[in-house]
Amino acid sequence: MALAQAKLARAALARAHGWDESGIDGFCPIFTFRTMGDRVQDRPLAELGGKGLFAKEIEDALLQDEADIAVHSMKDLPAVQPRGLLLVCVLEREDPRDVFLGRGGQKFSELGKGARLGTSSVRRAAQALRARPDLDIVPLRGNVQTRMEKLAAGEADGIFLARAGLARLNLRPPDGEDLAVENWLPALCQGAIGLEIRDDDDKARALAAKIDHPESHLAVAAERGFLAALDGSCRTPVAGLARIQNKALVFRGEVLSLDGRDSWSALRELKLHDRIGAEILQSANVLGKDAAKEVRAAAGAHMPKF
């Protein structure tokens, strides 16, 4: 998946700058790094320390001048970046929804009582238990293909996948059920790819700026603000989505208890009058943080520990 995303970013750079893609490996090579999140597959991400597991080694390569541009799945990037690094660009966002795959083509609502739901995402587990408290949550790690193989092998009766990941791998499961965001808010920044650079690298900044998608960058700014104010991690059932509707940025975020019995949400709207620039991006980030304050106040002592 990471390699597919890096190739998407490089292809976008090539189109924007008129590069000849036939020899692109020679002047714009892709370096791959095996991160902690890739190496450890036998434990849930929440037990390994949360967000940053798929980013640290890549960010270290930037800081050590081993790479000039880092390509990240934005849902895996911590809200607070290391000193000296800058998120300079967000590509046009893919469909952020989750997809449910059931054995034999079952829909989520058709799962039998006590069915085994395979996921290592505390968010997905909490949302599933909110809808179906009887389900048995079983840990399931691995890339998209591995999880689909585990489903087929009977290790679970159903699994969740990100629609964006399936699209980037050109996978189209015929029985996939798209889950409506009204009831199944996705992970913050799900479906978004971001480019990170050293903050003093003007050349890389100029290259990446040409492929920035302002609307997607704006949505990511709001969602990362929500995450930052909550100090959320992979240990925390946090969800949210920002979308542009009727010339306004509309954001809804929520936090759930691990068992899904309780949830707290907030809705915010930011009117858009001008082109999307640094000032509006900052306003979106503040909007997300303000929504997080409302959630914290509503949850009070019941707020999950972060």
Asked if residues 96 and 190 have their Cβ atoms less than 8 Å apart, the reply is yes
Active site residue 76: yes
Identify which of 210, 199, 219, 203 has the alpha carbon closest to the alpha carbon of residue 272: 219
Burial class (CB within 10 angstroms; exposed 0-12, middle 13-18, buried 19+) of 38: middle
d(CA 117, CA 201): 45
3-state helix, strand, coil in the chain (%, to 5): 40, 20, 40
Residues 6+ apart with CB under 8 A from 136: 114, 115, 116, 117
d(CA 104, CA 122): 25
Mapped onto helix, strand or coil, the DSSP state of residue 229 is: helix
- C-alpha distance across the termini of the chain, in Å: 28
Q: Which residues of 94-124 are buried (b: 16+ CB within 10 A; e: fewer)?
A: bbbbbbbbbbeebebeebeeebbbbbbbbbb
Checking DSSP bridges between strand 238-244 and strand 263-271, what pairing results, if any?
A: unpaired
Question: Tokens 């059931």 identify what position?
Answer: 102
60, 76, 259, 274: the catalytic one is 76
Residues in the chain: 306
Residues 6+ apart with CB under 8 A from 114: 134, 135, 136
- Provide the annotated active-site residues: 76
